[in-house]
Amino acid sequence: MRRRVLLLAALVVGLSLLIPRAASAAAVTIDSQTRSVHVAIPSITEGEAPIAETMTAPDNNPFTATLDRTLSQQDQTNHALASQDSNFGETSLFTAHANGETRYSATGIEGIVAADSNFALSFTLAEQRDYIISGTGSFVARPRAHRTSACS
């Protein structure tokens, strides 16, 4: 009996997958993988381009990427950072591992300042076996000073 598994993590902080392989067990088949980091900062100055960048893993090799961007316009500085270090493979164990960081700061501009790190791995097990998936993550929101203006 073949088992297909999809492992998906967004805003990765730490993720590990371990599948022990018995001497007679068949290999794990990788069906697809998508790993990427992305940052976006809208422009508030007419005629100046916004920042919207993505780096994607081109193949099944280890992927290490960081996008760290800042856009300063009209006395406002906005920042976005996304990073990822991920890999997967098989020896006596099939392992998948991803670490990453995302953070951004926005000054109340129109539009969305964003940073994300995505890890998706789909694989098939040739036979039923036990495996372990573990992950850690955190989300911290810090209040920022907020500027408002009144119209008369």
pLDDT in tens, 25-66: 677 788 889 999 999 999 988 999 999 999 999 999 999 999
Task: Extract the tokens encoding 73.
Answer: 């316009």
Looking at residue 4, its amino acid is R
Is residue 150's pLDDT more than 50? no
Tell me the per-residue pLDDT of 8-23, one tens digit each, with 9 for 90 and over.
Answer: 444 445 667 777 666 6
Is residue 120's pLDDT more than 70? yes
Residue in 126, 133, 134 with CA at minimum distance from that of residue 22? 126
pTM exceeds 0.95, yes or no: no
Q: What gap in Å lies between CA 151 and CA 110, rounded to an integer?
A: 17
* Residues sharing a CB contact under 8 Å with residue 116, sequence separation 6 or more, in sequence order: 10, 11, 37, 38, 82, 102
Q: Are 131 and 35 in contact (CB under 8 A)?
A: no
